[in-house]
Amino acid sequence: MKRGVAGLNETLIGLPGSRAQLETPALLLDAERFETSLDRLAQLARLSGMGLRPHAKSHKCAAIAERQMAAGALGIACAKTGELLALFEAGLTKLMLTAPVSSRLKIDRLTAAAARGLELIVVVDRLELVAAFGASARAAGTHVAVLVDCDTGLGRTGVTAAEEAVALARAIATEAGLVYAGVQAYAGKVQHVFDHQERRAANHLANAALTPILVGLRAAGLAPEIVSGGGTGSHLLDFEDGILTEVQAGSYVLMDEGYRPVDVHGTGEPVFDFAMLVLVSVIGHSANGEAITDGGSKSFAVDGPPPRVYRDGVEIGTIAWAGDEFGRVKTYDGIAPPPAGARLECTVPHCDPTANLHDFIHVVRGERLEAIWPIEARGLSD
């Protein structure tokens, strides 16, 4: 039996009207919205002739990653070693770690998984990390594919000059146990630029920083097979520009209030719907009549705009935080506070860390609970 609220809801799977009967707080995945977004980005990638390597940091869930692979993804990107290894143990075999590491123990865990069948890609930003991965891969009797991490404006990790990239690529290519596979260049600062033309200009700046690195690598006989980067906010621009070979979009299958203002395709219309929701219940009312729910900052990541609240499919207000465990419904003018016992579906401020707060995600289709999927990599911030 599943623990927590998922254990209470397990008996409802497949029953008519079960969505409205779920115990709360419960993380939901609207299957129809999820599948529409999944298929839409996969089709756009196919039409562009580019690949998708969706980022699992948004969901951390093997069942979601499996469906992304079935839709044509080249593999799955992961931010942390722990997340990657949890997805490998859950059956995913084509995984890329998108950040450098400094721990030899973690490197050894990664190469040990590669020796067991993991098709692993890692990134490096310094020569000593190349040597560390090479030594570990040789000791494990395996090979690891490696990308040169490039900083095109994010200011986090990665090299900024062509000569640095060439030096790393040469070191990878000559290190026994490693396979030089290309570069990573994630333009993270671009993703949440609201205006489409401003975001296009920001993406061009990132590409302008990447281009001389690519030119330098090709001139040195180290042309990258993989040029990985991009995300939900820049995917269309990346498909149009054709500089990357694959896009690491993550939030598109879930969406959150942080992405809501972003004019993703420049049409003024939403491209991906809100598939991730948190279901909460009204447990009582404050002295001034506001509805108090059973979901606070332990159910929602709060680093984003406030959630919008829906009752029976109608938007009635927003959530303000009333503590770690509680929320306060701020109903719109003319709308009465919902009564005790009312179940409310809420959007999320930020999908990535919200998924990290829950052990399970309840898959709903229409008014029926269809499945409950574990979030295998939840809490593995190592």
- Reduce the secondary structure of 5-52 to three states and give it as a string: HHHHHHHHCCCCCHHHHCCCCEEEEEHHHHHHHHHHHHHHHHHHCCEE
Q: Which residue type does 5 have?
A: V
Span 275-288, mean pLDDT?
Answer: 97
**Residue 25, preceding peptide bond in cis (omega within 30° of 0):** yes
For residue 2, what pLDDT band results from cuts at 50, 70 and 90? confident
Q: Is the pLDDT of residue 95 over 80?
A: yes
Q: For CA atoms 142, 147, 148, 153, give the dihedral sign.
A: negative
Q: Is the pLDDT of residue 280 over 80?
A: yes
Q: How many CB atoms lie within 10 A of CB 184?
A: 30
Look at strands 26-30 and 360-365 and give their pairing.
parallel
pLDDT of 7 reads 95
Q: Is the pLDDT of residue 1 over 80?
A: no
3-state DSSP assignment of residue 310? strand
pLDDT of 140 reads 98
Span 150-177, mean pLDDT?
Answer: 97
Q: Is the pLDDT of residue 62 over 90?
A: yes
CA distance 269 to 263: 7
111-117: Cβ within 8 A, 24+ apart = 111/136, 111/137, 111/139, 111/140, 111/142, 111/144, 112/140, 113/85, 113/88, 114/140, 114/142, 114/143, 114/144, 115/140, 115/141, 115/142, 117/93
pLDDT of 141 reads 98
Q: Is the pLDDT of residue 181 over 90?
A: yes
Span 57-80, mean pLDDT?
Answer: 98
Average confidence score pLDDT of the chain: 97
Span 128-153, mean pLDDT?
Answer: 98
Cβ(84)–Cβ(77) under 8 Å?
no
pLDDT of 88 reads 98
CA distance 309 to 176: 55
Task: Return the closest-CA partner of residue 28 out of 329, 363, 341.
Answer: 363
Q: Is the pLDDT of residue 380 over 80?
A: yes
Token representation of residue 222: 């180290």
Q: Is the pLDDT of residue 306 over 90?
A: yes
pLDDT digits over 192-226, tens only?
999 999 999 999 999 999 999 999 999 999 999 99
DSSP 8-state symbol, 133: H
**Residue 314 CB burial class (10 angstroms; 0-12, 13-18, ≥19):** exposed
Span 287-295, mean pLDDT?
Answer: 97
Q: Is the pLDDT of residue 150 over 90?
A: yes
Task: Return the closest-CA partner of residue 212 out of 238, 240, 254, 243.
Answer: 243
Span 303-321, mean pLDDT?
Answer: 97
Q: Please provide the distance, in angstroms rounded to a whole number, between the alpha carbons at the two ends of the chain.
A: 27
Domains in the chain, start-ordered, CATH in brackets? 5-29+270-374 (2.40.37.20), 32-253 (3.20.20.10)
For residue 282, what pLDDT band results from cuts at 50, 70 and 90? very high
The residues that bridge with 179 in the sheet, in sequence order, are: 145
Vertex 64 angle, CA 86 and 226, to 5°: 75
Percent of the residues in the chain that have a pLDDT greater than 70, as a whole number: 100
pLDDT digits over 317-331, tens only?
999 999 999 999 999
pLDDT of 92 reads 98
| Widest distance between CA atoms in the chain | 72
